Amino acid sequence: MGVDMGGSIIIHAFGCFFGLAASYHFQPKLAAMSPNNVSSHNSEIIAMVGSVFLWMFWPSFNGALASDGNQQNRVFINTNLSIAAGCIGAAFTARLFYGKLEMTIIMNATLAGGVAIGTCSDIITSPAGSMWVGFIAGIFSAIGFIKIGPYLQEKINLQDTCGVLSLHGMPGLLGGIASIFAVAALSGQFDKNYFTAIANGGTTTDQVMAQVWMILVTFGTAIFTGYFGGLIAKRSMFHAPETLFKDDSHIHDVVSKYPQSYIDMDKKDD
């Protein structure tokens, strides 16, 4: 059984590639050209506040399954250091490509550090290790937002509205790869019962291969189930017209049809 304390693989990477595989069947060209498919200054300010809250609570998310104080301590410290380093990496990349600090890129790539460190957040025992993981995750995530996301949208019309590939997919895979090296290099610092494969009479190599298989199986399962799940959803009666994607103006039509008594009641409550 692979080690994945913060769910970088089984939560973030799986959810990302499941969603992308499903969304491949939905290629809303009209929605992509909509003027509503842009962010505003006010929405970015609100998103920044949300990112700050996510930064504060991400260590507890990664450490939810930690069993003792020492394990929790490693998870909390590694997660905070990784997120901080991710912010630096994202700022560096945004400055390199845009010549300025782009808020949207930095906000999302900052949290990529928390995603990437999740798998090995309880294994890494040095500040430098967690900071390198976060720094690289911030760079990869920022490049994903700047280059990879627009490229995929242009080439295969993949609509990744929230940038899950850059925020969850690539950092999640990076976290899984980092866990392979962390287990190989640091397993000797832990009791043999700490890792499932070693506890069952295996070796460090067995645990490393467990990490590799965890990544491959999760990736394959996500793509397979997501693709067919999206196909079923597209052919079902619940598929909304693409003109409604990224546009909530039709909600006003629903509000206008409320009984007048409901509207009067709402005004009275105010």
The domain limits of the chain are 8-269
Distance CA 60, CA 40 (A): 31
| 22-63: pLDDT as tens digits | 887 776 665 556 555 566 677 778 888 888 888 888 988 888
How would you classify residue 183: left for phi > 0, otherwise alpha for psi between -120 and 50, otherwise beta? alpha
Mean pLDDT confidence for 212-218: 92
Distance CA 247, CA 140 (A): 30
CB atoms inside a 10 Å sphere around CB 22 = 21
Distance CA 78, CA 136 (A): 14
Q: Give the confidence band of 162 by pLDDT, cuts at 50, 70, 90.
A: confident
Residues 6+ apart with CB under 8 A from 246: 28, 31, 34, 36, 37, 161
Whole-number pLDDT of residue 262:
42
Q: Which residue reads 């609570």 in tokens?
A: 57
Distance CA 170, CA 12 (A): 9
Topology of the domain covering 8-269: Ammonium transporter fold (1.10.3430)
Total-model pTM = 0.80
Q: Which one-letter DSSP state was computed for residue 191? A: -
pLDDT higher than 60, residue 254: no
